[in-house]
Amino acid sequence: MYQFIENSDKFISLHDCRATGMTVGDRVISFTFADGIYIGKKHPRNTYGKTLRTDEARVDFNLPVGTPDENVTCYVFFEKKNGRTVRKRFSVGKLMKKINDKGRKLEFLYAYKGGDTVVYKCMLWKKKKPLGRECILEIRTDGTSYRWNEICPDKTVQALKKGS
């Protein structure tokens, strides 16, 4: 259970946050972030005056009517030996299996929003080479909830970059 639930991303960022877990429900797709998500320095609950990370967090994307695969599209890019790049579509189930069963991490880099859709440029990380693959995650949503318990004053942006 999470103590805080925020339904606006005005002061929240997933930039450089890595999802370590994923669940899919009837009308929701959720990502768990073991290292937390960023809470901006102007957020009303952030009394530290700087952008900080939370403890473990979860982000729920509420999906409109339809199946998860009708509302979520994931493309992963693979480089071939001939220098060409191939884009492969992953189902929601396949992405979830990669994250949950294979221990991959989905790093959210950039978000582009328009209407009821958010498009994330991501990296799908693994332990073996190639370590990361670029991917695009497109989610049609009718609401997003950001959940966490504590803001961690020792998890500053600079400290995370040095210690990552």
- pLDDT tens by residue, 52-101: 999 999 999 999 989 999 999 999 999 888 889 999 999 999 999 999 99
In this prediction the pTM is: 0.92
CA distances from 101 to 18, 20, 57, 87 (A): 16, 10, 20, 22
Structural domain for 107, as ranges? 4-163
Q: What stretches of the chain show up as alpha helix (H) in DSSP?
A: 68-71, 92-100, 157-163
Q: Could you report the per-residue pLDDT of 86-143, keeping only the tens digit for each?
A: 999 999 999 999 999 999 999 999 999 999 999 999 999 998 888 899 999 999 999 9
Token pair 């320095």 is found at: 41
| Domain count of the fold of the chain | 1
